[in-house]
Amino acid sequence: MRIIPAIDIIEGKCVRLTKGNYSTQKTYNENPLEVAKAFEDNGITHLHLVDLDGAKSNKIVNYKILEEICSKTTLQVDFGGGLKTDGDLRIAFESGANQVTGGSIALKAPQRFEKWVKQYGAKKIILGADCNNRKIATSGWLETSSTDVIEFIDAYSKKGIEYVICTDISKDGMLAGTSNALYQEILETSKVKLIASGGVSKMEDLITLKEIGCEGAIVGKAFYEGRISLKQLRELC
């Protein structure tokens, strides 16, 4: 299982939110590159980079930070947040992203999202399936739809999607454990490479996700709050 640390960006700074609520913003480092290099120095190979400004404004915003991290580290970066147009996607890939994540666009403009998958290939486009009470949430989690997360993922799996990042918003930033039952249901329903996100609080959570069969696990607040150390991540990698 891949261990994928997260860097969330607001106004160029490395921050974390709780349950996606922007009013809970806590800044951990004003230099995201510094954080990325620390991951790289400890054997981490992948990074989940989220443009929270972009998610809120519905267009890519912090692509310069993406470009800096990709040009000054060897990390393979999956980038998400505000990718709505062909131009946004082009900027993300030109800035060095190895993969991009589309969530809101996959729900609201499925034909465009499906075109991206065909154009760039299923290994480059990740389906973002962020949910609240099993319903898909969009626009930086500011909106909740009536679409069931299992049905959403299964439908895209049948259309060729390989990678899915699923975040249970109720768990995000709470350091209270992961949504294991939900992830098991997804893996039993769809043949996707599932990347779990939200709720990781300790090393045992990561071990459980690996046992369930997740292809990857995103670690955010647990690292920034000192619950999981770089040494532990290095050893697990």
Q: Tell me the per-residue pLDDT of 184-220, one tens digit each, with 9 for 90 and over.
A: 999 999 999 999 998 899 999 999 999 999 999 999 9
Residue type, 39: F
Catalytic residues: 8, 130
**For residue 202, what are the CA distances in angstroms to 10, 39, 130, 230?**
26, 18, 22, 12
For the whole prediction, is pTM greater than 0.85?
A: yes
Q: Which tokens go with 102?
A: 């589309």
- CA-CA distance, 116 to 119, in Å (whole number)? 5
In CATH, the number for domain 2-236 is: 3.20.20.70
What does the DSSP 8-state code read for residue 96? T
CB contact at 8 A, 136 and 116: no
Q: Tell me the per-residue pLDDT of 23-55, one tens digit each, with 9 for 90 and over.
A: 899 999 999 999 999 999 999 999 999 999 998
CB contact at 8 A, 19 and 173: yes
- CA-CA distance, 197 to 43, in Å (whole number)? 20
CB contact at 8 A, 73 and 67: no
Q: Tell me the per-residue pLDDT of 134-173, one tens digit each, with 9 for 90 and over.
A: 999 887 677 788 999 999 999 999 999 999 999 988 876 6
Beta-strand relationship, 99-102 and 163-168:
unpaired
